[in-house]
Structures are given as C-alpha cells and as structure tokens.
C-alpha cells in the first residue's frame, strides 16, 4: 500500500485523494472511483508508485520514454522492492499546484500538462530527491565497460556520450564481454571502503532522427529482438528511442565497480589530460547531484517540483567524492577528439580501422 498523500484544498477529487492506493504486479489497476495506479521497479531494489484520477493511458512510447529517464526502470516491480516515492496526479482544470512531503508528491493539474512528455521529468524529479536522501547519486553520465569494471562517461548534453555508447554496442558484436551499464544516467553509491559502484542505469538509447542511418547495424540488432523483448523504435520529438537486446547490457541485478571517470567531448581536436583530484571534484560535484534537472516545471511554469536536497547530502558527497578521487592510482581524465580517438583512449585493444567514419560536426 502506498503512503497517504495530503489532500489539496479545493480539489474536486478530495474523496478519491483521501483513499489509499492499492497496487499489484499485474500492471495498472482501475479502482471503483476511477483512479488508475501502477508500480514500477527503479534503481537499487526500489519501487516507484504512480496514480492518477485523470484520463491516463501509457503507451509503449511512454514506457520507453520513462526508461530513458529512470535508472533501473522495469515495467513490473520486484518482490523485494522497497517503496521509494509515491507520485499522484489529481486531474483538474485549474492552474497546476504541487504538494511535496516525505516520500510523496501530489500534482494537481490538467491531464495535458502531465501526459505524455512531462511525466518522465516529473517522476525522475521526485525519484532524484529520494535517491539523494539515501546517498544514491543519479549521475548525468553514460557507463560502459565489462564484467571487471566500468567507466563513467560524464559530460553535458551534446558532449557525445550517446555516440560513445553506440560505438561500444557495435564493438560488443566482436567482444561480447563489453557491456553497457547505462546510456545516459547512472545511479551510483560510495562503499564504506571508499569505492564507487554503479548500481543501475538507463537502458533506452536516444538518437537524433537524422543520425539514425549512421547506426543502422546497431539499431537493427535491437529491432530484430523486438518480437522477443517487446521493444521497438519510438519517436519523441526529433529523437528516436530504442533498446538493444538484453545481452548488450550488464547484469541489471549486479553492482559494477567504477574504474575511473572520464569527462568526454567529441570534436575535431584531440586532447587528453589527467585532472587533479580537486579540479575533478569541482567539475563532477554538480553532475553527481544532476543539478541540471534539479527543479521540474509543470504546466505553463505555474508550478515547480522543488529538487532541493538536505545540506548533509551535499556534505557527504563532497567528502566521499574527494576521498575517492584522491586514492593512489585513481585517474580522472578529460578526453576530447574524434570518436575513434576518444573511444580507443577509454577502451583500447580493439582496432577500429575497419569501421566506416560515423561522425559529422553535429555530435551528441
């Protein structure tokens, strides 16, 4: 059973909002009052509960979009999952209003302010706050590697993280041990002995529509599996979303040790340098907190989901990140250049000479 939520004053759905919401692992549940509720697996053995009194119908496109934003997302919760946060949408014709409390968010807004494209941002914003309170950090970074360890590929939007993930997927065809942990956002935790581990990632890969032909062999591998995995190509704005077959990804139930963190940028000028621990900490601190997605706007900017987290979380991150980066032998590299140069610098030993050039001047 979900946590009870506060009732918004003046809501025409007060009687519905006061009731507890029940969930099963069989998908959405329609209550007698018309409320639709569903639970999903996210992150490290956690569960996200969502409910709506409005006309909400999630399509395969919507589910795929959620998987692009929420690390560890699965359509069905696990038996041992613990509740992370409850998000409830109360349908109204008025201006959006948000009420936040411990492990619960209630949004009063018209349906079209939530579905389809605001929902992933709303749910991620609610999860982000609760993850951070539990000292789990949703780093704005892709993550690639093999069974022995992985590399966090950090950088702003447009730095080339997705392109490097796709190249890693293509190399997987020759070296199956090379796996994708995360395509865009990686949930990590610090261990008591000072290590950093990736615990969950986003599986959905998002590619600009005009770049899709360049990755046809890789994309085809995912589409060919559609009949088995129920994955498909879906469109969101100017992007196409898809997932690859499960063997391309690391074991979703395993934590993977992070070898090193690499700040990446695909461009025409090759450059590689090792950052000092303090320089790396300053650059990585905001990425570990995902400050870029701290606050979420609902409707016509009339309501804001407040992503502020307790000061103790920031103090904890500052200390743990510093300790991790100062370890003997630890390297945080900043690498820029062509796809071939950057990928080979991160994951050497496999020649890319036989591969056709893929990149133009527009990188992601």
Give the C-alpha separation, 288 to 325, whole Å.
13
Residue 148, phi then psi, degrees to nearest 5: -85, -15
By DSSP bridging, strand 256-266 and strand 149-154 are: parallel
Q: Determine contact, residues 157/168, Cβ cutoff 8 Å.
A: no
- In this predicted structure, what is the pLDDT of residue 32? 38
Read off the tokens for 279: 């320089």
Residue 21, phi then psi, degrees to nearest 5: -110, 130
Q: Among 130, 113, 55, which Cα is nearest to 297's? A: 113
Burial of 133 (0-12, 13-18, 19+ CB in 10 A): middle
Contacts with 42 (C-beta within 8 Å, 6 or more apart), sequence order? 48, 70, 71, 72, 73, 74, 84, 127, 200
Question: For every one of its 364 residues, what pLDDT tens digit does the chain have, with 9 covering 90 and above?
Answer: 334 333 333 333 333 333 333 333 334 444 435 578 899 999 889 999 999 997 667 788 888 889 999 999 998 898 899 999 999 999 888 889 999 999 999 999 988 888 788 999 999 999 999 999 999 999 999 999 987 789 999 988 889 999 999 999 999 988 999 999 999 999 999 999 999 999 999 999 988 888 888 888 888 776 655 444 445 788 877 888 888 988 999 988 789 999 999 999 999 999 999 999 999 999 999 999 999 999 999 877 679 999 999 999 999 999 999 999 999 989 999 999 999 999 999 998 654 443 433 334 344 4
- In this predicted structure, what is the pLDDT of residue 357? 36
Q: Which residues pair with 190 in a beta bridge?
A: 196
Give the C-alpha separation, 193 to 136, whole Å.
16
Q: Determine contact, residues 242/231, Cβ cutoff 8 Å.
A: yes
Residue 190 CB neighbour total at 10 angstroms: 19
Q: What is the pTM of this model?
A: 0.85
- In this predicted structure, what is the pLDDT of residue 231? 54
Read off the tokens for 7: 């009732």
Q: Among 205, 218, 149, which Cα is nearest to 177's? A: 149
Q: Among 181, 115, 113, 110, which Cα is nearest to 145's? A: 181
Q: Which domains does the chain have, with CATH numbers?
A: 14-134 (no CATH), 137-291+314-346 (3.40.50)
- In this predicted structure, what is the pLDDT of residue 177? 93
- In this predicted structure, what is the pLDDT of residue 312? 98
Place of tokens 């009052």: 33
């Amino acid at each position: 059973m979900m946590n009870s939520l506060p009732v918004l004053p003046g809501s025409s759905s007060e009687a519905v909002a006061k009731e507890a919401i029940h969930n099963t692992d069989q998908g959405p549940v329609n209550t007698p009052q018309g409320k639709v509720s569903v639970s999903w697996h996210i992150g490290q053995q956690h569960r996200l509960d969502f409910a709506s009194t409005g006309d909400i119908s999630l399509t395969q496109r919507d589910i795929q979009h959620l998987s692009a934003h929420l690390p560890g997302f699965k359509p069905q919760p696990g038996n041992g999952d613990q509740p992370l946060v409850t998000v409830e949408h109360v349908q109204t014709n008025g201006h959006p209003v948000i009420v936040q409390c411990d492990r619960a968010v209630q949004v009063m807004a018209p349906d079209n302010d939530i579905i389809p494209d605001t929902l992933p941002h709303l749910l991620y914003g609610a999860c982000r706050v609760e993850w951070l309170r539990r000292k789990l950090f949703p780093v704005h970074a892709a993550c690639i590697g093999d069974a022995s360890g992985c590399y966090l590929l950090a950088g702003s939007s447009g730095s080339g993280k997705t392109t490097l993930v796709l190249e890693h997927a293509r190399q997987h065809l020759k070296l199956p041990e090379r796996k994708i942990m995360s395509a865009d956002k990686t949930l990590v935790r610090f261990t008591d002995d000072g290590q950093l581990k990736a615990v969950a990632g986003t599986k959905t890969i998002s590619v600009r529509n005009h770049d899709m032909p360049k990755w046809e062999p890789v994309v085809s591998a995912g589409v060919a599996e559609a009949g088995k995995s129920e994955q498909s190509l879906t469109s969101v704005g100017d992007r196409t979303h898809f997932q690859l077959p499960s063997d391309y990804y690391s074991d979703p139930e395993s934590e993977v040790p992070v070898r090193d963190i690499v700040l990446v940028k695909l461009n025409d000028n090759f450059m590689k340098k090792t950052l000092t621990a303090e320089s790396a900490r300053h650059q990585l601190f905001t990425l570990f907190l995902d400050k870029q997605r701290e606050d979420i706007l609902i409707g016509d900017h009339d309501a804001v989901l407040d992503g502020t987290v307790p000061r103790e979380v920031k103090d904890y991150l500052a200390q743990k990140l510093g300790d991790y980066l100062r370890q003997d032998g630890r390297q945080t590299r900043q690498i820029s250049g062509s796809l071939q140069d950057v990928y080979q610098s991160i994951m050497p030993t496999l020649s890319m000479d036989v591969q056709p050039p893929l990149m133009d001047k527009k990188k992601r």
